[in-house]
Amino acid sequence: MTQPHYKLMTLSVEGIRLTTYNHKHKIISLPRGYINSMNDQVVFWAPDDSGLEVLKNAMPEGMGIDWIDSSGSLEVSSEALKNTKAVILGGAVRFDVQLAAKCPELRLIQSTSAGTNQLDKTALGELGIKVSNNGGGNAVAVAEHTIALMVGVYRKLQLQFKSVQDGKWMSDIRDTWVSQAHELTGKTVGIVGVGRIGSRVAKRLQGWECELIYHDIVDPRAELIDELEMKKVGFDELLRESDIVTLHVPLNRKTTGMISDREFDLMKPTAILINACRGPVIDEKAFIRAIKEEKIMAAGVDVLEVEPTPEDNPLIEMDNVLITPHLAAFTQEAFEKSRAFAAYNATKVANGGEAESVVLPDD
């Protein structure tokens, strides 16, 4: 028998140095609806197998990974998953509790994203199943995108791009928008949530010579706060004092609609709002009112309440709102780190270890 060929690869994920092996897997024919290999302890749960090869390359020696069609029936899926210990999600797909209850060996649902709000973590936890996010694999990409939104909003980059593409060069941008054109340097930036992404935003803003204040319900490490030279303030004070408010919180019951009419009323009329976490963190109707009534100056968002957003969403037509289509994590490096961590964590659990980067149920 021909021995499998192994190619040594080394990946670095959030300070963890992972040595993995790229090896070929024998795929056998099974009923339509899923692909299986000789090892079904870790599976890739997705509507198609387009991300399977990348995950295979990240799996350590001796550990296979199967693709299971997430659109399959409960009966087919539960049979395919009967020996599975860890599931890696292909994007923001759901994994229903009804199915999880029929998976006696399942111990981990692993996301390749930072967000896990589509999963019922409380009910899964009652079944002994933990949920993990991507371990900060996309934190750098989202932090960079956040700062790009800040600069883009201040310089009206979306209007500049469109004006040039339309053959109008600078058009009337200089005259119309000069009052909103600002430098980032010297601004007070209020960071709501200083976890993996928020802390990286803060670190990068040090180079822009900004004054940093923050609010978080969890106290970060004291040495991190000292290193980043941030001042902790109450949420209302942050809203009142910030030239830029940037949101970096998970979506849960406490954070849904955390920015609404009351919060907009507290913000400076010259303030800008940045959101690269989850759309429902902002009450979108209140957001539209705040822009129309000039409660704040402008905004830059990568996320909205409904995605794709309806074509008639008023925010799309507002020249002082910069919108990107939920692609803040859109980098090769983020994809690689997120998938490498997913493979590492799923393999660890399949081998009897404890999961890392576990997301607790909403309070």
Q: Which long-range contacts (CB under 8 A, 24 or more apart) does 26-35 make?
A: 31/76, 33/69, 33/72, 33/73, 33/76, 33/77, 33/80, 34/66, 34/67, 34/68, 34/69, 34/72, 34/76, 34/77, 34/80, 35/66, 35/67, 35/68
Q: How far apart are CA 361 and CA 309, in angstroms?
A: 28
CA distance 47 to 4: 28
Is 227 a catalytic site residue?
no
Selected catalytic residue, list 278, 284, 339, 356: 278
Pairing of strands 42-46, 86-89: parallel
Beta carbons within 10 angstroms of residue 336's beta carbon = 17
To the nearest 10°, report the CA torsion of 179, 184, 155, 249. -110
Catalytic residue among 145, 248, 326, 339: 326
In contact, 277 and 193? CB cutoff 8 Å: yes
Q: Is residue 278 flagged as an active site residue? A: yes
Nearby residues of 344 by Cβ (< 8 Å), 6 or more positions away: 13, 16, 18, 20, 58, 60
Q: Which residues of 66-100 are buried (b: 16+ CB within 10 A; e: fewer)?
A: bbbbbebeeeebbebbeebbbbbbbeeeebeeebb
Cα distance between residue 239 and residue 245, in whole Å: 7
Identified catalytic residue from 209, 307, 333, 354: 307
- CA–CA separation, 259 and 247 (whole Å): 10
Q: How far is C-alpha 94 from the geometric centre of its chain's CA atoms?
A: 16
Instruction: Please indicate whether residue 145 is annotated as part of the active site.
Output: no
Q: What is the DSSP letter of 259?
A: B
State the residue for tokens 């399949």: 350
Catalytic residues: 278, 307, 326
